[in-house]
Structure 1
Amino acid sequence: MFSDDVDADLAKMAGDPRFPHRETAQHAVRFRAEGAVADLVAVQDDAHPCGMTDVIFAMAGSQRPWLNWVPMPSEAIANVADEVARRRAKGEQLDVTRLGLSTAEPPSAMVACRRVIGPLAVDINMFPAPDIRLPVREVRYGVWRYDGTEPVAAVPAPSGAAIQTLHEVAGEPWPSPLSGYVQAAPLGELPLSDLLGLLAHLPAPPATPRWQHLATTTPTYWYRLMQPWVCLGILHHNAFEPWLVSTRREVLMDLAFGVEDWVCDAALFALVTTAYREPDQREEVRALVRARLDAAMSAPRLVTIEESLARLMLVTPGCTADDHAAASSVLARAARAAEPEPDADDEGAGDGEGGAGQPARKRRWWRHRG
């Protein structure tokens, strides 16, 4: 029924007067062409929902950030880890025991780097305001704390059964947030302590061909992908509780505004998934995503999750014209910053020791000290 060309398939359905979900397909076509989230919401709100509307929703979000895949890590330390993995995969005997960062980066990126490289001392030159070690607001549920300059898991490690469930559920990106929510149900059967433990302790990827291949190119991506899966699992925790007084709502909101980390946008992604499923929650979720984006935008320093927060804002139900403008300004600024600079070597884009070679703003200066 379908080809490999999503846009052609949607256009065919949208133009077929006999197709029962023709108008829904037309909204999907417009979303892919123009990016207005109202069209994607209209797909979900089809007057006659069925399995086909779920398929159209997935097609509308195909190959779109957050709707089908998680943005890649952008941190300097993650870039270094991936570069080291690539060079090792080519047979180079590369031992890295110490790195220097100009400023602190998210705890998950630090842990992911060590999962890839091995034991590693990281020297951080400074913690500019707002201090990355402090939550954006006071929270009850948090997965990170700091011992001086070192991020430490604030929750116990997950059980072996939890890791096995994660591997079974989260080995691939979701076709759409809605199907991902359904697929994540087994994670919701785990104790909350296990779910929080998965977020902070970052278990290794499953031993599948996909992740064996990515281990030679971008191994840090598993750690970026698994956390949104876990947060989708949290949406199933104590599902009998009314949403507004539920543990799952409180946990996800706390994670979104906790210590600056990949966990923040992962939790917001789960809340956005709820907004698609539950129209009554859309305005609250929209306000939460915007508040977290505003916090990132107001920081007088680089916030590495700012761009992914902006992309999430653009697919949040109820996204207003002002929300869209704010998110678009972030993405435009990120695009300008990613442009190669004439004197990149003077800005730390390469260090003569085989550095990751990323644009200066995206990766900060690092120096191999091992």
Structure 2
Amino acid sequence: MVSENVEDKLREFAEDPDFPHREAARHALRFRSSGEVSDLVAIADEPHGCGTTELLFAMAGEKRTWLNWVPMPEEAVINISRDIARRRAAGEEAEITELGLSGGEPPSALAAFERAAGKPVKIGIAEFGEPDMRVPLRPGRFAVWRYQGDEAEPAVFAPSGEAVRVLHQVGAEPWASPLSGYVQAEPFGDLPLDDLLGLLVHPPQAPDIPRYQVLARSDPAYWYRLLQPWVCLGILHHEKQEPWATSTRRQVLVDLAFGVEDWVSDAALFALVTAAYRQPEIRDEVRGLVADRMLAATRAPRPVTIWTSLAHLMLITPNATADDRSLAAAILKQNEEPEPEPEPQPRSNRSRERRWPRWLGGRR
């Protein structure tokens, strides 16, 4: 990625008669100003695609959610883990042994919170609401979480030491774009599927490098959010010789996307969107999957913590329709609106109440 102003550099490329990818540079500029996903698709579909066009794609998506970085977690337990980390970094005592939640939160978020807390925490959940996040939206063959009553537990074994090594090798640095991230994730393809699934729910500690040492003092749970999209990109490399429609890699990612509600859900969809940029023939299918998952979250009368993340993902999905984009934009606009502080509740984290756009036909 270039260090100078991205718009200025793209404009320079677009106006240079000797630059071989002027049209791709123009599309990159247009995407940065309008966010129109067809411009990103045009860059990916450049007839003479190469490392330069991949750089232009990365420049177009710089600092954009999912294109350049994984969205920050929004769960109540993650906010608490951030507070714990900051207080400890300031030399304060910060211990928690018991916590009450008004509603269920993704099992990955709860696992990341316990890692940040440093010991098991007794978590009470008042209710799960409807639709029950513990029940997959669609039946599937592959799952990484299962529930015993109110408590989620891994449905797969822990990964091998080699799998952890590969994760640390691949995930030590962020991706410049999904296209480069796909290439970066290629070493995952040498791992057994059981190892890849195990990494999703038995996450190791972050690499012991300055980036994550700093992050551990402010947002220790973010590593656990970040690693899952990396692993899902790795799943795209599993048994790549299999035809897409009947492939294990496709079935795994679809099952995870529509399994129990979790960070793994949108991580799997992100990998599918990445595949769609590389394979035009699957774009309609992937667009339908992302739209269905976002609509399911929108129709839920209870809070869905990955709702805005799904909206961000919809906006970068190839072949997204005008209705898809309108709904995603409405979700993000609604999420930005200020809301009154809730009444303090002892031993409870009250998630923000959803206010539905009238044109969605939702509850008010």
- Confirm or deny a common fold (TM above 0.5): yes
- How far off is 1:147 after superposition? 1.3
Distance in 1 (CA, whole Å) between partners of 2:223 and 2:323 is 33
- How far off is 1:347 after superposition? 5.6
DSSP 3-state at the match of 2:343: helix
Code of the aligned partner of 1:23: E
- How far off is 1:47 after superposition? 2.0
Distance in 2 (CA, whole Å) between partners of 1:235 and 1:87 is 40
| CA RMSD of superposed structures (Å) | 1.8
Alignment correspondent of 1:19:
19
Code of the aligned partner of 2:208: A
TM-score by length of 1: 0.92
Distance in 1 (CA, whole Å) between partners of 2:288 and 2:87 is 43
Distance in 2 (CA, whole Å) between partners of 1:359 and 1:322 is 28
Deviations 1:259-315 (CA, angstroms, capped at 9, x unpaired): 000000000000000000000010000000001111111101110001000000000
- How far off is 1:17 after superposition? 2.3
Question: Does 2:98 match 1:101?
Answer: no
Code of the aligned partner of 2:201: A
Q: Does 47-56 or 244-253 show the bigger shift?
A: 47-56
Distance in 2 (CA, whole Å) between partners of 1:360 and 1:288 is 26
Distance in 2 (CA, whole Å) between partners of 1:333 and 1:3 is 34
Residue identity (%) = 57
Distance in 1 (CA, whole Å) between partners of 2:35 and 2:185 is 27
Alignment correspondent of 1:9:
9
Alignment correspondent of 1:47:
47
Alignment correspondent of 2:224:
223
Distance in 2 (CA, whole Å) between partners of 1:187 and 1:239 is 12
Distance in 1 (CA, whole Å) between partners of 2:185 and 2:297 is 29
Question: Does 2:336 match 1:346?
Answer: no
Q: Does 15-24 or 238-247 show the bigger shift?
A: 15-24
- How far off is 1:3 after superposition? 3.8
- How far off is 1:335 after superposition? 1.1
Code of the aligned partner of 1:14: A
Distance in 1 (CA, whole Å) between partners of 2:89 and 2:325 is 41
1:73-222 aligned at under 5 Å gives the runs 73-118=73-118, 119-222=120-223
Code of the aligned partner of 1:47: P
Distance in 2 (CA, whole Å) between partners of 1:326 and 1:139 is 27
Alignment correspondent of 1:368:
none
For the Cα contact (< 8 Å) 1:347–1:360, is it kept in 2?
no
Code of the aligned partner of 2:324: D
Following TM superposition, the consecutive aligned residue runs of length 4 or more in structure 1 with deviations greater than 4 angstroms are: 358-362
Distance in 2 (CA, whole Å) between partners of 1:284 and 1:296 is 19
Code of the aligned partner of 2:41: V
- Unaligned ranges ≥5, structure 2: 355-364
1:328-343 aligned at under 5 Å gives the runs 328-336=329-337, 339-341=338-340
- Identify if the C-alpha distance between structure 1 residues 294 and 360 changes in structure 2 by more than 3 Å, giving closer, same or farther: closer
DSSP 3-state at the match of 1:282: helix
Distance in 2 (CA, whole Å) between partners of 1:203 and 1:361 is 34
Distance in 2 (CA, whole Å) between partners of 1:193 and 1:152 is 16
Alignment correspondent of 2:279:
278
Distance in 2 (CA, whole Å) between partners of 1:289 and 1:220 is 25
Alignment correspondent of 1:367:
none
Distance in 2 (CA, whole Å) between partners of 1:62 and 1:215 is 24
DSSP 3-state at the match of 1:346: coil
DSSP 3-state at the match of 1:195: helix
- How far off is 1:2 after superposition? 4.1
Distance in 1 (CA, whole Å) between partners of 2:280 and 2:78 is 37
DSSP 3-state at the match of 1:151: strand
- How far off is 1:146 after superposition? 0.8
For the Cα contact (< 8 Å) 1:81–1:113, is it kept in 2?
yes
Deviations 1:227-264 (CA, angstroms, capped at 9, x unpaired): 00000000000111111111000000000000000000
TM-score by length of 2: 0.94
For the Cα contact (< 8 Å) 1:158–1:197, is it kept in 2?
yes
DSSP 3-state at the match of 1:72: coil
For the Cα contact (< 8 Å) 2:76–2:351, is it kept in 1?
no
Distance in 2 (CA, whole Å) between partners of 1:93 and 1:331 is 37
Alignment correspondent of 1:294:
295
Number of aligned residue pairs: give it: 353
- How far off is 1:18 after superposition? 2.3
Alignment correspondent of 2:31:
31
For the Cα contact (< 8 Å) 2:303–2:351, is it kept in 1?
no
- How far off is 1:359 after superposition? 8.3
Distance in 1 (CA, whole Å) between partners of 2:109 and 2:128 is 16
For the Cα contact (< 8 Å) 1:71–1:308, is it kept in 2?
yes
1:250-329 aligned at under 5 Å gives the runs 250-329=251-330
For the Cα contact (< 8 Å) 2:303–2:352, is it kept in 1?
no
- Identify if the C-alpha distance between structure 1 residues 2 and 132 changes in structure 2 by more than 3 Å, giving closer, same or farther: closer
Code of the aligned partner of 1:162: A
- How far off is 1:95 after superposition? 1.2
